[in-house]
């Protein structure tokens, strides 16, 4: 069964491994330049990264190849917006809504584009589109904030205030909604309320240019010119291509008698009006994607904080337990591990996995890698069927315990992915007994395993059984569960044949059975 490169690339894209996703999409297009799915997803990735010009070309190709796909047309509209081609964007969004009149994404985007264009009738048209989106189920804070903008543009101030308050109620830290609420109060002459709202927007989003400009205007009107100057300088730093920011700064500096500074600001405004200060819109695609991946990849400290918060609050969990958490836990647990896990929790995964391997294997001696070997509970069971037996674990203390068993040919402390990637096509059998529950997103593991195994090789592992379509972090145990559909999906896209995916009892926990899956997958010979 061949690997499904498109779906593998989509998994990398979803998991934030953007360079791997780009490589996959480009590999598909090198073999099949007309592939609309690869063109669409690569175009969307480039759009996300800011390489807009190349993104447009790819998304146009995809939309032409799939003229009845509303999502393709919608994403092309987003790319046009990125180039400032607002009329083309509106045309694409309207095309998308003609293909799918209930598409809340297309209705919303078409409204936002019209609010940006500000032609005669655009505000009323935007209101109609936003109301349709709301009728079809969209109730996001963003919907209500843009309703407020449209209502402001049509002079319906009280309704705009109500829409802003709804947006803020649903998303209290929504800087744009606070700003537009301030604008609405300003139109009613409620200056103090306006200042309070716009100042809150700046507090929430310190580089929010429009809010900085609005607050600076209020400060200047009140005669507080130093405060206005500081705000406008911040705005220029956040939006150096803004002619309005530099012009306003020049006027404030004039009022303060700072003639040289005012002259510099006015010259900057003139240069901005000629486009000399505009930031480049298009970036080299590889650089742009690498930069985006770096920005969205958390540092070790951030990952650890995210994990701690996810185990205590309702925020979405990370894709894995941070490695220091795992190694630290098992370093402390090493001396008690076997007695507690086997004696008290009735842990049986190693026996069940090796029994399944014995039934599937034809009796030949195997080169075996025991992933997350721990204290080596699998070692004595694997030794009789192994030509070579190697174990790897994050915990140095666990490796020391495994060494005492004297059954492994080699043991090392390290990350299982690093070891798998280091030795391609080196193994007949990969075993991971109760290891992958510390990883949510298993795409990198399956990819590395498919590369590390020889043709016909086996991947044998256990996970805790979960619901849904993918994986979930269990807060009480700080481990992940994986669903059967997710395991089927990964086996399919990486070309594994499913020899066994059966439900088993892994161990006891608080006196109750912990259900899991025993999985045995084989690469094609």
Q: Are 71 and 98 in contact (CB under 8 A)?
A: no
Nearest to 41 by CA among 75, 17, 16: 75
Give pLDDT < 70 ranges for the chain. 1, 278-283, 303-319, 321-347, 362-363, 510
CA atoms of 35 and 74, how far apart (whole Å):
18
Using CA atoms, how far apart are residues 132 and 138, in angstroms rounded to an integer? 9
Contact in structure between 325 and 332 (CB atoms under 8 Å): no
Dist. CA 255–CA 451, nearest whole Å? 69
Reduce the DSSP state of residue 413 to 3 states and report it: strand
pLDDT at 261: 86
- How far is Cα 342 from Cα 1, in angstroms, rounded to an integer? 38
The pLDDT value given to residue 333: 47
d(CA 505, CA 338) in angstroms, rounded, equals 18
| Sign, CA torsion 191/196/200/203 | positive
Instruction: Give CA–CA dist 460/491, Å, rounded.
Output: 12
* Segment (H or E) for 498: strand 497-509
Comparing C-alpha atoms, which of 326, 446, 318 is closest to residue 393? 326
245: buried, middle or exposed (CB in 10 Å: 19+, 13-18, 0-12)?
Answer: buried
Structure tokens at 343: 């004696």
Give pLDDT tens digits for 338-382.
554 554 456 678 888 888 888 887 667 899 999 988 888 888 899
The number of angstroms, rounded, from the C-alpha of 105 to the middle of its chain's C-alpha atoms is 19
Per-residue pLDDT, 505? 83
Q: Give the residue among 431, 296, 423, 416 at the shortest CA–CA distance from 357.
A: 431
Over the stretch 166-183, which tens digit does the pLDDT of each residue have?
999 999 999 999 999 999
Domain 222-274 is of which CATH architecture? Alpha Horseshoe (1.25)
Question: 323-522: same fold as 222-274?
Answer: no
**CA 366 to CA 390: how far, in whole Å?**
11
Q: Which residues contact 210 (CB under 8 A, 6 or more apart)?
A: 179
Q: Are 211 and 202 a contacting pair, CB within 8 Å?
A: yes
Residue 469 Cα distances to 217, 432, 441, 482, angstroms: 51, 22, 12, 8
Give the model's pLDDT for residue 209: 92
Any idea where the domains of the chain sit in the sequence? 222-274, 323-522
The first and second tokens of residue 97, run together, are 């809504």
**CATH architecture of the domain formed by 323-522:** 3-Layer(aba) Sandwich (3.40)
Phi-psi region of 376 (alpha: psi -120 to 50; beta: other; left: phi over 0): left
Q: What burial letters (b/e) apply to 65-96, b meaning 16+ CB within 10 Å? A: ebeebbbbbbbbbbbbbbeebbebbbbbbbbb
DSSP assignment of 166-192? HHHHH-TT-HHHHHHHHHHHHHTT-HH
Q: How far apart are CA 82 and CA 52, in angstroms?
A: 6
Please tell me the distance from the alpha carbon of residue 18 to that of residue 15, in angstroms, as a whole number. Answer: 8
Assign residue 118 a region (left: φ > 0; alpha: ψ between -120 and 50; beta: otherwise).
left
Axis crossing angle, helix 141-153 with helix 122-135, rounded to the nearest 10? 150
Which residue shows structure tokens 């045309």?
91
**What span, in angstroms and rounded, lies between the C-alpha atoms of 96 and 116?**
19
């Amino acid at each position: 069964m061949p690997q499904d490169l498109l779906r593998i690339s989509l998994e990398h894209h979803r998991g934030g491994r953007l360079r791997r996703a780009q490589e996959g999409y480009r590999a598909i297009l090198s073999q099949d330049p007309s592939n609309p799915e690869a063109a669409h997803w690569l175009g969307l990735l480039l759009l996300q990264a800011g390489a807009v010009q190349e993104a447009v070309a790819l998304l146009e190709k995809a939309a032409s190849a799939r003229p009845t796909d509303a999502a393709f047309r919608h994403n092309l509209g987003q790319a046009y917006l990125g180039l400032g081609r607002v009329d083309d964007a509106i045309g694409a969004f309207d095309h998308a809504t003609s293909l799918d009149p209930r598409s809340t994404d297309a209705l919303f985007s078409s409204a936002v584009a019209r609010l940006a264009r500000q032609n005669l009738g655009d505000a009323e048209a935007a209101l109609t589109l936003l109301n349709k989106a709301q009728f079809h189920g969209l109730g996001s804070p963003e919907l209500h904030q843009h309703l407020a903008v449209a209502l402001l543009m049509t002079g319906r101030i009280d309704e705009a205030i109500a829409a802003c308050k709804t947006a803020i109620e649903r998303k209290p830290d929504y800087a744009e909604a606070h700003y537009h609420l301030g604008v609405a109060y300003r139109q009613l002459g409620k200056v103090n309320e306006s200042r309070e709202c716009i100042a809150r927007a700046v507090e929430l989003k310190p580089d929010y240019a429009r809010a900085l400009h609005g607050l600076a205007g209020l400060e200047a009107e009140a005669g507080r010119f130093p405060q206005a100057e500081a705000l406008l300088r911040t705005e220029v730093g956040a939006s150096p291509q803004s002619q309005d920011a530099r012009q306003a700064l020049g006027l404030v500096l004039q009022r303060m008698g700072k003639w040289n500074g005012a002259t510099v600001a006015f010259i900057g405004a003139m240069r901005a009006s000629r486009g000399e200060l505009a930031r480049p819109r298009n970036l080299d695609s590889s650089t742009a994607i690498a930069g985006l991946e770096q920005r969205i990849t958390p540092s070790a400290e951030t990952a650890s904080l995210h994990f701690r918060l996810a185990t205590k609050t309702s925020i979405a969990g990370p894709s894995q337990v941070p490695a220091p958490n795992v190694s630290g836990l098992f370093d402390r647990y090493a001396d008690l591990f076997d007695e507690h896990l086997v004696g008290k929790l009735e842990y049986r995964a190693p026996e069940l996995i090796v029994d399944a391997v014995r039934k599937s294997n034809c009796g030949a001696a195997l080169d075996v890698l025991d992933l997350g070997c721990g204290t080596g509970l699998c070692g004595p069971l694997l030794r009789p069927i192994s030509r070579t037996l190697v174990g790897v674990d994050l915990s140095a203390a666990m490796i020391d315990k495994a060494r005492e068993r004297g059954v492994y040919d080699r043991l090392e402390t390290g990350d299982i992915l690093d070891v798998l990637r280091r030795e391609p096509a080196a193994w007949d059998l990969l075993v991971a007994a109760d290891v992958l529950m510390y990883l949510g997103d298993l795409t990198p593991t399956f990819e590395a395993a498919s590369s590390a195994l020889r043709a016909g090789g086996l991947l044998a592992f256990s996970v805790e059984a979960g619901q849904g379509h993918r994986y979930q972090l269990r807060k009480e145990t700080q481990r992940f569960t994986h669903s059967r559909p997710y395991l089927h999906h990964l086996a399919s896209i990486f070309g594994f044949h499913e020899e066994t995916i059966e439900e088993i009892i892994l161990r006891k926990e608080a006196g109750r059975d912990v259900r899991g899956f025993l999985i045995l997958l084989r690469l094609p010979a």
